[in-house]
Amino acid sequence: MSFSPDGSRIIAARGTDEQTLLWTFDLARRFGSRFLTDQPGGIFPVWSPDGSRIVFTSKRSGRWNLFQRLSNGGGGDELLFPADEDIYPLSWSRNGGFLLVGSGFGSASTAAVITMDAQGKPSGEPIVFVRRGLGIDPQFSPDPSGPPRWVVYQSTRDGKTEVYLREFDPKSDTLTSANGPEWQVSKGGGTSPHWNPNVKELLYLAPDRSIMSVELTGNVNSPTSSPKKLFTPAGIEIERAQAGLAALSWAISPDGKRFLFPIPVTPTAALPVVVVLNWTSLLKN
Protein backbone atom coordinates (compact mmCIF):
# COMPACT_ATOMS: atom_id res chain seq x y z
CA MET A 1 0.00 0.00 0.00
CA SER A 2 1.13 3.56 -0.61
CA PHE A 3 0.12 7.22 -0.43
CA SER A 4 -0.70 9.17 -3.56
CA PRO A 5 1.91 11.86 -4.41
CA ASP A 6 -0.31 14.57 -2.93
CA GLY A 7 -1.05 12.50 0.19
CA SER A 8 -4.83 12.60 -0.25
CA ARG A 9 -5.39 8.96 -1.18
CA ILE A 10 -4.08 5.47 -0.51
CA ILE A 11 -3.92 2.50 -2.86
CA ALA A 12 -3.80 -0.95 -1.26
CA ALA A 13 -4.13 -4.59 -2.19
CA ARG A 14 -6.65 -6.46 -0.08
CA GLY A 15 -8.28 -9.85 -0.25
CA THR A 16 -7.17 -13.46 -0.01
CA ASP A 17 -4.42 -15.49 -1.62
CA GLU A 18 -6.97 -16.72 -4.15
CA GLN A 19 -8.38 -13.29 -5.01
CA THR A 20 -6.56 -10.03 -4.34
CA LEU A 21 -8.09 -6.76 -5.48
CA LEU A 22 -6.92 -3.15 -5.41
CA TRP A 23 -8.78 -0.55 -3.38
CA THR A 24 -8.36 3.22 -3.11
CA PHE A 25 -9.08 5.18 0.07
CA ASP A 26 -9.92 8.87 0.23
CA LEU A 27 -8.42 10.14 3.49
CA ALA A 28 -10.46 13.35 3.70
CA ARG A 29 -13.78 11.57 3.15
CA ARG A 30 -12.70 8.46 5.10
CA PHE A 31 -14.10 6.43 2.27
CA GLY A 32 -12.77 3.37 0.43
CA SER A 33 -13.82 1.93 -2.90
CA ARG A 34 -12.66 -0.81 -5.17
CA PHE A 35 -10.15 0.31 -7.79
CA LEU A 36 -11.79 -1.29 -10.79
CA THR A 37 -9.56 -3.65 -12.71
CA ASP A 38 -10.31 -6.52 -15.00
CA GLN A 39 -10.21 -9.88 -13.31
CA PRO A 40 -8.20 -11.29 -11.63
CA GLY A 41 -7.29 -7.97 -10.02
CA GLY A 42 -3.76 -6.93 -9.13
CA ILE A 43 -1.04 -6.48 -6.53
CA PHE A 44 2.04 -4.27 -5.98
CA PRO A 45 0.37 -0.94 -6.86
CA VAL A 46 2.68 2.03 -7.54
CA TRP A 47 1.58 5.62 -8.25
CA SER A 48 2.89 7.57 -11.22
CA PRO A 49 4.84 10.67 -10.10
CA ASP A 50 1.94 13.00 -10.98
CA GLY A 51 -0.66 10.73 -9.35
CA SER A 52 -2.67 10.35 -12.56
CA ARG A 53 -2.02 6.62 -13.04
CA ILE A 54 -1.35 3.47 -11.06
CA VAL A 55 0.86 0.70 -12.33
CA PHE A 56 0.43 -2.78 -10.87
CA THR A 57 1.07 -6.42 -11.66
CA SER A 58 -1.68 -8.87 -12.56
CA LYS A 59 -1.56 -12.53 -13.51
CA ARG A 60 -3.21 -12.91 -16.87
CA SER A 61 -2.45 -15.49 -19.52
CA GLY A 62 -0.47 -17.43 -16.93
CA ARG A 63 2.12 -14.74 -16.13
CA TRP A 64 2.46 -11.70 -13.87
CA ASN A 65 2.81 -8.68 -16.19
CA LEU A 66 2.76 -4.92 -15.71
CA PHE A 67 -0.51 -3.06 -16.26
CA GLN A 68 -1.59 0.51 -15.61
CA ARG A 69 -4.87 2.34 -15.19
CA LEU A 70 -5.98 5.92 -14.57
CA SER A 71 -5.99 6.53 -10.82
CA ASN A 72 -9.57 7.85 -10.96
CA GLY A 73 -10.67 4.38 -12.07
CA GLY A 74 -11.62 5.50 -15.56
CA GLY A 75 -10.67 3.76 -18.76
CA GLY A 76 -9.45 0.19 -18.86
CA ASP A 77 -6.41 -1.79 -17.81
CA GLU A 78 -3.54 -1.16 -20.21
CA LEU A 79 -0.79 -3.74 -20.64
CA LEU A 80 2.31 -1.69 -19.88
CA PHE A 81 5.06 -4.27 -20.28
CA PRO A 82 4.71 -7.90 -21.45
CA ALA A 83 7.69 -9.66 -19.85
CA ASP A 84 9.22 -13.07 -20.46
CA GLU A 85 9.08 -13.77 -16.72
CA ASP A 86 6.92 -12.69 -13.80
CA ILE A 87 7.49 -9.00 -13.12
CA TYR A 88 6.13 -6.44 -10.63
CA PRO A 89 6.62 -2.67 -10.05
CA LEU A 90 8.39 -1.36 -6.96
CA SER A 91 9.30 2.32 -7.36
CA TRP A 92 8.74 5.07 -9.95
CA SER A 93 11.29 7.89 -9.95
CA ARG A 94 9.95 11.34 -9.13
CA ASN A 95 11.04 12.71 -12.51
CA GLY A 96 9.04 9.95 -14.23
CA GLY A 97 11.99 8.64 -16.22
CA PHE A 98 12.65 5.32 -14.48
CA LEU A 99 10.59 2.45 -13.12
CA LEU A 100 12.18 -0.01 -10.70
CA VAL A 101 10.77 -3.51 -11.10
CA GLY A 102 11.36 -6.89 -9.54
CA SER A 103 11.27 -10.43 -10.86
CA GLY A 104 11.20 -13.48 -8.65
CA PHE A 105 10.35 -13.24 -4.96
CA GLY A 106 12.24 -13.14 -1.68
CA SER A 107 15.88 -14.22 -1.81
CA ALA A 108 15.50 -15.18 -5.50
CA SER A 109 14.42 -11.71 -6.66
CA THR A 110 16.23 -9.47 -9.13
CA ALA A 111 15.96 -5.68 -9.27
CA ALA A 112 15.89 -4.06 -12.73
CA VAL A 113 15.16 -0.61 -14.17
CA ILE A 114 12.89 0.22 -17.10
CA THR A 115 13.41 3.60 -18.81
CA MET A 116 10.12 5.46 -19.30
CA ASP A 117 9.32 8.07 -21.95
CA ALA A 118 7.49 11.38 -21.50
CA GLN A 119 4.12 9.61 -21.95
CA GLY A 120 4.86 7.15 -19.16
CA LYS A 121 5.50 4.23 -21.52
CA PRO A 122 8.52 1.87 -21.48
CA SER A 123 11.20 2.91 -23.96
CA GLY A 124 13.54 -0.06 -23.62
CA GLU A 125 14.20 -3.44 -22.06
CA PRO A 126 14.81 -3.79 -18.30
CA ILE A 127 18.42 -3.29 -17.20
CA VAL A 128 19.49 -5.38 -14.21
CA PHE A 129 20.49 -3.09 -11.35
CA VAL A 130 21.12 -5.66 -8.60
CA ARG A 131 21.70 -9.32 -9.38
CA ARG A 132 19.37 -12.09 -8.35
CA GLY A 133 19.28 -12.63 -4.61
CA LEU A 134 21.39 -9.57 -3.80
CA GLY A 135 18.85 -6.75 -3.93
CA ILE A 136 15.32 -6.99 -2.58
CA ASP A 137 12.57 -4.35 -2.37
CA PRO A 138 14.55 -1.44 -3.90
CA GLN A 139 13.30 2.14 -3.70
CA PHE A 140 14.48 5.22 -5.64
CA SER A 141 15.51 8.27 -3.68
CA PRO A 142 12.78 10.97 -4.03
CA ASP A 143 15.07 13.69 -5.35
CA PRO A 144 13.09 16.89 -6.04
CA SER A 145 14.58 17.41 -9.51
CA GLY A 146 16.36 15.36 -12.13
CA PRO A 147 16.87 11.59 -12.03
CA PRO A 148 17.22 9.77 -8.70
CA ARG A 149 20.73 9.65 -7.27
CA TRP A 150 20.37 6.62 -5.02
CA VAL A 151 18.59 3.31 -4.59
CA VAL A 152 18.04 1.72 -1.18
CA TYR A 153 17.37 -2.00 -0.87
CA GLN A 154 17.81 -5.00 1.39
CA SER A 155 20.19 -7.86 0.70
CA THR A 156 21.19 -11.20 2.20
CA ARG A 157 24.58 -11.25 0.48
CA ASP A 158 26.47 -11.64 3.78
CA GLY A 159 24.09 -14.23 5.17
CA LYS A 160 22.01 -11.74 7.16
CA THR A 161 19.44 -9.38 5.78
CA GLU A 162 20.67 -5.79 5.94
CA VAL A 163 19.73 -2.51 4.24
CA TYR A 164 22.13 -1.00 1.69
CA LEU A 165 22.39 2.23 -0.26
CA ARG A 166 23.84 2.32 -3.78
CA GLU A 167 24.46 5.13 -6.23
CA PHE A 168 22.23 5.34 -9.33
CA ASP A 169 23.83 6.56 -12.55
CA PRO A 170 21.47 6.67 -15.58
CA LYS A 171 24.39 7.45 -17.90
CA SER A 172 26.10 4.13 -17.14
CA ASP A 173 25.29 0.93 -19.03
CA THR A 174 24.89 -0.78 -15.66
CA LEU A 175 23.06 2.22 -14.09
CA THR A 176 25.66 2.44 -11.37
CA SER A 177 29.24 3.69 -11.37
CA ALA A 178 31.89 0.98 -11.51
CA ASN A 179 33.61 2.49 -8.48
CA GLY A 180 30.51 4.07 -7.04
CA PRO A 181 29.93 3.85 -3.29
CA GLU A 182 27.69 1.34 -1.60
CA TRP A 183 26.86 1.79 2.05
CA GLN A 184 25.41 -0.55 4.65
CA VAL A 185 22.68 1.42 6.36
CA SER A 186 21.28 -0.99 8.95
CA LYS A 187 23.04 -2.69 11.84
CA GLY A 188 22.00 -6.00 13.36
CA GLY A 189 19.52 -6.76 10.60
CA GLY A 190 17.07 -4.68 8.58
CA THR A 191 14.29 -5.01 6.02
CA SER A 192 11.66 -2.91 4.27
CA PRO A 193 13.61 0.31 3.66
CA HIS A 194 11.79 3.57 2.94
CA TRP A 195 12.93 7.10 2.22
CA ASN A 196 11.86 10.10 4.19
CA PRO A 197 10.53 12.42 1.43
CA ASN A 198 13.09 15.05 2.47
CA VAL A 199 15.84 12.66 1.19
CA LYS A 200 17.80 13.25 4.42
CA GLU A 201 16.69 10.16 6.30
CA LEU A 202 16.29 6.44 5.66
CA LEU A 203 13.92 4.29 7.66
CA TYR A 204 13.70 0.53 7.88
CA LEU A 205 12.24 -2.31 9.91
CA ALA A 206 14.46 -3.93 12.56
CA PRO A 207 14.17 -7.65 13.43
CA ASP A 208 12.16 -6.73 16.56
CA ARG A 209 9.74 -4.84 14.20
CA SER A 210 10.83 -1.40 15.41
CA ILE A 211 11.10 1.43 12.90
CA MET A 212 14.73 2.56 12.73
CA SER A 213 16.09 5.88 11.44
CA VAL A 214 19.44 6.72 9.86
CA GLU A 215 20.32 10.33 9.02
CA LEU A 216 22.06 11.18 5.74
CA THR A 217 24.26 14.05 4.68
CA GLY A 218 22.77 16.84 2.58
CA ASN A 219 24.07 15.33 -0.65
CA VAL A 220 23.58 11.73 0.55
CA ASN A 221 27.28 10.92 0.30
CA SER A 222 27.03 8.54 3.24
CA PRO A 223 25.01 7.69 6.33
CA THR A 224 26.02 10.09 9.10
CA SER A 225 24.43 8.50 12.14
CA SER A 226 24.05 5.13 13.76
CA PRO A 227 20.57 3.64 13.48
CA LYS A 228 18.22 4.88 16.18
CA LYS A 229 14.85 3.51 17.17
CA LEU A 230 11.86 5.72 16.47
CA PHE A 231 8.98 3.55 17.67
CA THR A 232 7.51 0.07 17.47
CA PRO A 233 4.23 0.05 15.55
CA ALA A 234 1.43 -2.27 16.52
CA GLY A 235 0.21 -4.41 13.68
CA ILE A 236 3.30 -5.75 11.92
CA GLU A 237 3.74 -9.36 12.88
CA ILE A 238 7.31 -10.01 13.94
CA GLU A 239 7.49 -13.26 11.96
CA ARG A 240 6.59 -11.43 8.75
CA ALA A 241 9.01 -8.64 9.56
CA GLN A 242 11.89 -11.06 10.08
CA ALA A 243 11.06 -12.81 6.83
CA GLY A 244 11.15 -9.50 4.99
CA LEU A 245 7.55 -9.85 3.89
CA ALA A 246 6.32 -6.51 5.18
CA ALA A 247 8.31 -4.43 2.68
CA LEU A 248 5.30 -2.94 0.92
CA SER A 249 3.00 -3.16 3.94
CA TRP A 250 3.89 0.21 5.41
CA ALA A 251 4.29 3.64 3.94
CA ILE A 252 5.23 7.25 4.68
CA SER A 253 3.11 10.22 3.62
CA PRO A 254 4.63 12.72 1.15
CA ASP A 255 5.00 15.32 3.91
CA GLY A 256 6.87 12.80 6.09
CA LYS A 257 4.49 13.33 9.02
CA ARG A 258 2.28 10.23 8.82
CA PHE A 259 2.96 6.52 8.75
CA LEU A 260 0.67 3.85 7.39
CA PHE A 261 0.70 0.35 8.88
CA PRO A 262 -1.58 -2.67 8.55
CA ILE A 263 -3.48 -3.75 11.65
CA PRO A 264 -4.41 -7.43 12.03
CA VAL A 265 -8.13 -8.03 12.14
CA THR A 266 -9.10 -9.77 15.38
CA PRO A 267 -12.36 -11.73 15.20
CA THR A 268 -14.92 -10.20 17.55
CA ALA A 269 -17.14 -12.20 19.85
CA ALA A 270 -20.28 -13.52 18.19
CA LEU A 271 -23.29 -11.27 18.61
CA PRO A 272 -26.33 -12.83 20.30
CA VAL A 273 -29.20 -13.88 18.08
CA VAL A 274 -32.73 -13.28 19.40
CA VAL A 275 -35.47 -15.43 17.96
CA VAL A 276 -39.03 -14.16 18.37
CA LEU A 277 -41.67 -16.86 18.15
CA ASN A 278 -45.24 -16.25 17.10
CA TRP A 279 -44.29 -12.71 16.03
CA THR A 280 -47.47 -12.24 13.98
CA SER A 281 -49.50 -12.09 17.18
CA LEU A 282 -47.67 -8.88 18.10
CA LEU A 283 -49.19 -7.13 15.08
CA LYS A 284 -52.65 -7.38 16.61
CA ASN A 285 -51.62 -5.14 19.47
pLDDT for 137-176, tens place per residue? 789 999 888 899 899 988 877 778 899 988 888 888 777 7
Angle, CA 242 vertex, CA 114 and CA 131 arms, to 5°: 30
CA distances from 232 to 213, 237, 256, 259 (A): 12, 11, 17, 12
CA–CA distance, 7 with 219 (Å, rounded to integer): 25
> What pLDDT is recorded for position 158?
74
> What pLDDT is recorded for position 94?
94
> What pLDDT is recorded for position 107?
60
Domain boundaries, the chain: 83-284
> What pLDDT is recorded for position 110?
78
Render each residue's pLDDT in the chain as its tens digit; 285 residues: 899 999 999 998 887 656 778 899 999 999 888 887 666 678 889 999 999 999 998 888 788 889 999 999 888 889 998 888 888 899 999 999 999 998 876 666 778 899 999 888 988 888 888 665 555 678 999 988 889 989 998 887 777 889 998 888 888 877 776 566 678 899 999 988 999 998 889 999 998 889 999 998 766 666 778 899 999 887 665 545 444 444 447 899 999 989 988 776 665 556 667 777 777 777 765
| DSSP SS3 for 107 | helix
Strands 150-155 and 136-140: antiparallel
> What pLDDT is recorded for position 4?
96
> What pLDDT is recorded for position 207?
87
Q: How many of the other CB atoms lie within 10 Å of CB of 140? A: 23
| First-to-last C-alpha distance (Å) of the chain | 55
> What pLDDT is recorded for position 246?
43
Concatenated DSSP letters of 67-102: EEEETTS-S--EEEE--SS--EEEEE-TTSSEEEEE
CA–CA distance, 176 with 150 (Å, rounded to integer): 9
> What pLDDT is recorded for position 242?
47
> What pLDDT is recorded for position 52?
95
> What pLDDT is recorded for position 39?
67
> What pLDDT is recorded for position 93?
95
pTM of the model: 0.83
pLDDT in tens, 209-251: 899 999 987 666 667 788 999 998 876 655 454 444 444 478 9
- Is the bond preceding residue 40 a cis peptide, omega within 30 degrees? yes
DSSP, res 272: P
CATH superfamily, domain at 83-284: TolB, C-terminal domain (2.120.10.30)
Largest CA distance in the chain: 90
Strands 127-130 and 110-115: antiparallel
**Phi, then psi, of 14 in degrees rounded to 5:** -145, 150
